[in-house]
A and B are shown apart, each in its own frame.
Chain A
Amino acid sequence: MYVFDKKMGRRKFIKVMGASVAGAVASSALTGCVSLGSKEHSIPTNELGIKEWGREAGEWIPSCCNMCGGQSGILCHVVDGVVAKIEPNHWNPNNYSNISSDFFDGYTEEYGCKDGGALCPKGNAGIAQLYDSDRIKTPLKRTNPDRSPGADPKWQEISWDTALNEIADKLKTLYDAGEAHKLLWISEDHSFTHIQGDFCELFGTPNYSMHSNLCDVARKASFKTVLGHDRPLLDALHSKYILLFGWNPTSAIKWVHLPRIITQGIERGAKLVVVDPYLSDTAAKAQEWISLRPGTDGALALAMGHVIVKEKLYDEEFVNTWVSGFEEYSQYVADKTPQWAEQITTVPAKTIERIARELATTKPALVDVWSGPGQHTNGVQGGRAIVALNALIGTIDRPGGMVIPNKSGNKHGHVDANEQAALTGENPRFDELKKYPLGHKSGVYTRTFSNLEQGAGPYSPKMAVIVFQNPAMSVPGNLVPKALAKLETVVVIDTMLSETAMLADYVLPGTTYLERYDLNTHWVTWPVLALRQPVIKPLFGQPTEYEVVAALGRRLKLTTKDGVEFFYRGPLSGESIEHLTQWYEDYLSNELVHGAPKITLKELKTLPGAVWVDRKGTEYEKYAKEVSAPKLVGAFYDGSSMQDGTGVYDKPKDQKGKRLGTVFGGKVLKSFDTPSGKVELFAPSLAKKNDADGQPVNPLPVYEPRQWQPNKEFPLYLINWKEASHTHTRSQNNPLLLELKSDNRLVIHPDTAQSLGIGPEDDVWVESSQGKVKARVQITRRIHPEVVGAQHGFGHTALGKNAKGRGSAFGILNRCLSDPLSGQAVHKEICVRVVPV
């Protein structure tokens, strides 16, 4: 292994030289000569090999990655039916920049973006995911009725026809009994979600849930409440001050342009400050790391707000024009002094004051927050306090600030279910999403599984279809196996035999992203849509997930309100299409033609990199622009058309009218999509609501301590994070990624370790009130002394031969709980004690 200068200085080098030279002398008789001179000779090349396998052989097919949810563009080298290499796609902005001026600077149709796109380690390792020898190859049926964890399912291999027929029969039984709503459908959130949603609609279940509520719905709720959009994006490239709370963007990459725009932002003079209990790999790139207690970020942000308000450092013009509730906010933060926050966060008051001043006086600046604070019971309010800082400094939707993206892309048309499905579909969701005032359409997994396990909830579900999700490992707590055992039938579609698949009655072999279609709108600030397409046929001849959905829909003869057999009729062509793939191609084409690109699937395939990029690009300060006159024809006003603050909609609000803008100064401006049309530091609409625990919601971004606090028995905070090497719980069987990171250690501060008598590489028990997990420690000062933590995703008991038994799964130490406002799973709210083994 390589060591930097320190350990292997010149002396050592000479010694090594001496040793090897002795050998050289001994063997010199063999070669006749050893010299410093050239040993050059020609090395033969293989001309046939170049022709058959070289860069010009076969095809390069543009597509999109799905090793995580980032959807980077890829170019796949396919030779003789085998994917030989995956490279970045230079035409896809997601691989380069989230700001159009940067992307188009030097862009050519021939090459794409000037310096070429990038691809993260996972994207490069996609081949090992595709050709993983542990992939499920054929449908499996459980023959052992014992579904407890660890029980051998005694799989029986069955044919696709048998599998689809038997599953369709189970579904039909539910449907015929008027119990379609007793089907739970759970899926990943970036792949073929529309067709699954349509299936649920037409089948008659309201219970379609997706991954997001395990991830970032707290962030969504925070931003949505304050500035009316749930996913603003940071313009790091143009920023001069980047303040990140609990986010690790250069390592937990997600969008592969992030490392570039952040490091280049710093190169252009920005200061990066990272607030995190762990000195993440992003904090390693920062000029300043601010270490704090987990879940106290909101207090820190409020104290910063206190300084900014008290010293009148806020952007007065923006606040006066575009911020509502400044008075209430100012009053609230009046006593949220840096000294107050120091007690809560452990961040010195002087540091808080300095950071607040730097943030407010460096322009442009931005403040972003992700899952660190978000995955706590106080995550949404804490997030609001953080987002509020953006309002004070006035950089919302401005260059170098938090930009509200234009996410126009493909259009998913609404399907109308027939009478029976509409009736069962009107049942409440089993996860009681309505109880969460800032809940997200992705649902509330923790509620689903805790209701199931406890026999609670509005009714008793009978069947679940779980697509490319592994709740047994990814939902906090340890009750998913018990919950699934309460169902009559569990179907899992996945490429691997995950911990969840091992609990199923039927497992269908899924496809990887290299074997199927999808449309990907991107994580950039202007409209971009890229194609994922099958670069090879599914390895085992299996139907893709969307074909499975359509095949089930056909077997069930699901019809729309108009009596059309939805899964036969091509939505664009209007004709009956027997071939499942062709039918889905028509389905996608329809979404493209009626969406922003207005082109067919065939046309999308011919664009450079198979990416449609809107040339109009990023627009800033959209809120201050007037709504165009044609859009206002027949618009609905919720007050006087001359009164400031009157909301303007395309349809009356009770008919789900979409907000077009707000009246200000006699004009209809696009404004912010909040009730007041302004950025809301105080949200009166929240005051009328209760959270899922029945407590009234505070309209201010209040700091309330998270529910689970350390005590004498369990004195340490336990957190977790993501790194570039792995995605969630799904990549730990990938040998290329395991070479980067083969397990997860419990990271602990040396002072803490010493006080507990723990030495380097020691094994320990990590115990919470919910259970205990064995782990190996890594001692470093990169973590807050009151905190221990680890990379998430390891500790598999299934998934594959490589994954099993590596590292620790800390999730079971948690409670199966979500935050009561947004339904966000609270992965990071655990208290533990660490005991030497």
Chain B
Amino acid sequence: MTQQKKKDHQETEISDSVAIKTRRDFLKNLKDVGACALVTAIASGGIMSSFLSMTDAVASAPGGSRALTKRKYRYGMVIDTRRCVGCKACMVACKVENKTPPGVSYTIVSSHALDRPDEKPVFTTKPCFHCEHPPCVDVCPVSATFKRDQDGIVVVDYDRCIGCRYCITACPYGARYFDFGENYTMTESGPFKKIPSPEYNQFRKREEGSSPIGNVRKCTFCLHFQDAEGRYDKESGRWPSCAKTCTGHAIFFGDFNDPENEVARLIRERQPIRLKEELGTQPNVYYLL
């Protein structure tokens, strides 16, 4: 479990904006006091909030010209809750695509009763938000989970993951699941058993004692559909499965770095919200209410 140390990509690719410069200095100072001190400091809360406020200015212009990094793509979703009918087709499509076991669901449709006399519900689906500042990444003791440099997708390296589940507790959105090794009857025996999961283009066969059983699992924006350049292609079906099947056409997926992209346009023209904005996680999944 050796890890090749890499330079902080966010540092090297950071633009010259004032806010970022401040952050660079901030990080440098923290390095001086040591990483352990850093996390302790964040845990204490005080520094965390100043850290958040510093980055707020940067990411508050999503899809605009002032992107956080020089990342090639910034993939994300805009989910229109007015279009979501709560059917849960996304959940099943995801399960069948990624061949996830019982209890592991990369997106969850929730129904929240509004505070009104008839308890009318609001539906929404909630995949991993692939946050700009993913708390799950920071707590991983073995660097198994990380935010990809080129497109911001937060991934899990099953070969490194030791199943400690810190990331599950760290994620404020409940987007991570532990694979306890349970199976549906159809994956236990019969023809379907031999179908591997396309996740990360690894096509692992589900076998007792081997990954991803015993690992933490999460939404990957179906990154196995990307081509060599990291692009998705809706027309050939190389598109996140949840968005592809959505009965209300409520899930928009795309690249926020491209101002012409539908998702960038939607957050520019509409008034989307993000969940728990106050935590400063900067989710890349927006909701239209």
**Interface window among B5-13, B14-22, B59-67:** B5-13
Find the B residue at minimum CB distance from A260.
Answer: B249
Q: Report which of A3, A75, A282 forms a contact with B174, defined as CB distance below 8 A.
A: A3
Decide if A31 touches B87 in the complex (CB within 8 Å).
no
CA distance A119 to B243 in the complex (A): 11
User: Given contacts A4-B112, A10-B276, A13-B279, are A27 and B40 in contact (CB under 8 A)?
Assistant: no
A782 near B146: Cβ-Cβ < 8 Å = no
Q: Are A259 and B248 also in contact (CB < 8 A) when A25-B39, A40-B149, A736-B96 are?
A: yes
A75 to B237, CA, bound (A): 11
Digitize A1-36: 1 where CB-to-B-CB distance is under 8 Å, 0 elsewhere.
Answer: 111110011100110111111111101101111111
The winner among A24, A45, A128, A725 for most chain B CB atoms within 10 A is A24
CB-CB under 8 A from A16, the residues of chain B are: 169-170, 172
Write out, one digit per residue, whether chain A residues 780-803 have a CB within 8 A of any chain B CB (1) or not (0). Answer: 111000000000000000000110
In contact, A82 and B191 (Cβ under 8 angstroms):
yes
Q: Is the Cβ of A30 less than 8 Å from the Cβ of B86?
A: no
Asked whether, in the complex, the Cβ of A36 is within 8 Å of the Cβ of B139, the reply is no
Complex: A586 Cα to B123 Cα, angstroms: 47
The one of B87, B119, B170, B247 in contact with A279, judged by C-beta atoms closer than 8 angstroms, is B119
Asked if B57 is an interface residue, CB under 8 A from chain A, the answer is no
Given the interface contacts A20-B169, A256-B247, A284-B120, does A780 sit within 8 Å of B86 by beta carbon? no
Evaluate contact between B143 and A20: CB separation under 8 angstroms: no
Question: B97 — which chain A residues lie within 8 A by C-beta?
Answer: 85
Q: Of A109-117, A422-430, A472-480, A621-629, which binds chain B?
A: A109-117
Which residue from B36, B92, B201 sits with its C-beta under 8 Å from A736?
Answer: B92
- Give the 9 A-B residue pairs with the shortest CB-CB distance, closest first: A49-B203, A39-B143, A37-B8, A27-B141, A39-B146, A124-B92, A2-B174, A45-B201, A250-B85
CA distance A38 to B245 in the complex (A): 33
Q: Looking at the complex, which of A50-58, A182-190, A398-406, A635-643 is the stretch in contact with chain B?
A: A50-58
Tell me, in angstroms, the Cα distance from A281 to B86 when the chains sit together: 8
Does any Cβ of B come within 8 Å of A836's Cβ?
no
Please encode chain B, from 265 to 289, with 1 for each CB lying within 8 Å of some chain A CB and 0 for all others.
0000000000110110000000000
Flag if B191 contacts A31 (CB, 8 Å): no
Select from chain B the residue with minimum beta-carbon distance to A26: B141
In the assembled complex, the CB of A374 is this many whole angstroms from the nearest CB of chain B, namely 22
A442 to B159, CA, bound (A): 58
CB distance from A136 to the nearest CB of B (A): 14
Q: How far is the CA of A737 from the CA of B93 in the complex (A)?
A: 11
Can you name 11 A-B pairs with beta carbons within 8 Å? A2-B108, A2-B175, A17-B43, A28-B141, A38-B10, A127-B192, A131-B190, A134-B185, A264-B249, A267-B82, A724-B88
Indicate if the CB atoms of B235 and A111 lie closer than 8 Å: yes
The answer to whether A14 touches B48, judged by C-beta atoms less than 8 angstroms apart, is: yes
The answer to whether A55 touches B173, judged by C-beta atoms less than 8 angstroms apart, is: no
Q: What are the residues of chain B within 8 A of A767 when measuring CB–CB?
A: none
Residue A557 at the chain B interface, CB threshold 8 Å: no
Chain B residues with CB under 8 Å of A172's CB are none
A418 at the binding interface (Cβ < 8 Å): no
A781 touches B118 (CB 8 A): yes
Which residues of chain A are within 8 angstroms of B48 by Cβ–Cβ distance?
14, 17
The residue in chain A whose Cβ has the minimal distance to the Cβ of B250 is: A263
Question: Is B54 on the interface with A (CB-CB < 8 A)?
Answer: no
Interface residues of B in 40-92 (CB under 8 A from A): 40, 42-43, 45, 48, 82-83, 85-89, 91-92
Query: Do B184 and A735 touch across chains, with their CB atoms under 8 A apart?
Result: yes
Report the bound CA distance from A111 to B4 in whole Å: 44
How far, in whole Å, are A267 and B250 apart by their CA atoms in the complex? Answer: 12
Chain B residues within 8 Å of A, Cβ to Cβ: 1, 3-11, 27, 30-31, 35-36, 38-40, 42-43, 45, 48, 82-83, 85-89, 91-93, 95-97, 102, 105, 108, 110, 112-113, 117-123, 126, 135, 137-149, 155, 157, 159, 164, 166-167, 169-170, 172-175, 184-186, 188-192, 194-196, 198, 200-204, 225, 234-238, 241, 244-250, 275-276, 278-279
Residues of chain B lying within 8 A (CB to CB) of residue A285:
82, 85
Nearest CB to that of A83 among chain B residues? B192
Partner of B186, one of A21, A41, A110, A133: A133
Q: Provided the pairs A34-B36, A55-B238 are in contact, do residues A251 and B249 lie with their beta carbons within 8 angstroms?
A: no
Residues of chain A from 208 to 238 with CB closer than 8 A to chain B in the complex: none
Cα A55 to Cα B139 in complex, Å, equals 34
Residues of A within 8 A of B188 (CB): 133
**Which residues in window 46-93 of A have CB below 8 A to B?**
46, 48-50, 52-55, 75, 79-88
**Contact A124:B89 (CB < 8 A) given known A49-B203, A739-B102:** yes
- B225 cross-chain contacts in A, Cβ below 8 A: 55
Q: Contacts of A40 on B, CB cut-off 8 Å?
A: 6, 9, 146-149
Q: How many positions in chain A have a CB within 8 Å of any CB in the partner chain?
A: 105
Given A20-B166, A21-B139, A31-B1, A125-B92 contact (CB < 8 Å): yes
Do B93 and A119 have beta carbons less than 8 Å apart? yes
- B10, A133: Cβ atoms closer than 8 Å: no
* Contact A260/B247 with A20-B139, A739-B102 known, Cβ cut-off 8 Å: yes
* C-alpha spacing A75/B172, complex, angstroms: 37
* Contact status B157-A115, CB under 8 Å: no
The answer to whether A24 and B119 have CB atoms under 8 Å apart is: no
Which residues of B have CB within 8 Å of A736? 92, 95-96, 184
Answer whether residue A756 sits at the interface, using C-beta atoms and an 8 A cutoff. no
Further 16 A-B residue pairs, CB within 8 A, beyond A38-B9, A259-B83: A17-B135, A33-B35, A34-B36, A38-B10, A38-B149, A39-B137, A50-B203, A53-B196, A79-B195, A123-B245, A127-B96, A132-B185, A260-B247, A281-B123, A285-B82, A735-B186
Report Cα–Cα, A22/B146, bound state, in Å. Answer: 19
Q: With A and B bound together, what is the CA distance between A18 and B166 in angstroms?
A: 11
A445 close to chain B: CB less than 8 A: no
Known: A20-B139, A121-B89. A5 touches B166 (CB 8 A): no
Task: Say whether A816 faces chain B, with CB atoms less than 8 Å apart.
Answer: no
Q: How far is the CB of A292 from chain B (nearest CB, A)?
A: 13
Contacts of A37 in B (CB 8 A): 6-11, 27
Digitize A546-566: 1 where CB-to-B-CB distance is under 8 Å, 0 elsewhere: 000000000000000000000
Alpha-carbon gap, A432 to B151, bound state (A): 67
Is A572 interfacial (CB 8 A cutoff)?
A: no
Asked whether, in the complex, the Cβ of B200 is within 8 Å of the Cβ of A118, the reply is no
Contact of A740 among B6, B88, B167 (CB under 8 A): B88
Determine the distance from Cα of A16 to Cα of B168 in the docked complex, in whole angstroms.
Answer: 10
Give the docked Cα–Cα distance between A46 and B198 (Å): 9
| Residue from B36, B139, B140 having most chain A Cβ neighbours under 10 A | B139
Q: Mark A441-478, 1 if CB is under 8 A from B, else 0.
A: 00000000000000000000000000000000000000
* CA–CA, A128 and B1, complex, Å: 38
- Write the nearest CB–CB distance from A760 to chain B, whole angstroms: 13
B155: chain A residues at CB < 8 Å are 43
Q: Is A289 an interface residue (CB 8 A)?
A: yes
CB closest chain-A residue, reference B112 = A4
Complex CA distance for A110 and B190, rounded to whole angstroms:
35
Residue pair A267, B87 in contact (C-beta under 8 Å): no
Residue in B85, B96, B192 with the greatest tally of chain A CB atoms within 10 Å? B85
How far does the Cβ of B12 sit from chain A's closest Cβ, in whole Å? 9
When the two chains form their complex, are residues B92 and A32 in contact, meaning their CB atoms are under 8 A apart? no
Closest to A35 in B: B35
Nearest Cβ in chain B — how far from A17, in angstroms?
A: 6
Specify which of B117, B144, B191, B275 lies most central, judged by the most chain A CB atoms within 10 Å of its CB: B191
A735 CA / B96 CA spacing, docked (Å):
12
* A8 touching B172, Cβ below 8 Å: yes
Instruction: Decide: A38 near B6, CB < 8 A? Known: A45-B201, A125-B92.
Output: yes
Please, which residues of chain A bring their CB within 8 A of the CB of B35?
28, 33-35
Is A746 on the interface with B (CB-CB < 8 A)?
Answer: no
Q: Would B3 and A284 count as touching, CB distance under 8 A?
A: no
A371-428, CB < 8 A from B: none
Does A242 sit at the interface, judged by CB under 8 A? no
Q: Mark A796-824, 1 if CB is under 8 A from B, else 0.
A: 00000110000000000000000000000
Contact partner, A281, options B85, B113, B167, Cβ 8 Å: B85
Closest Cβ neighbor of B245 among chain A residues: A119
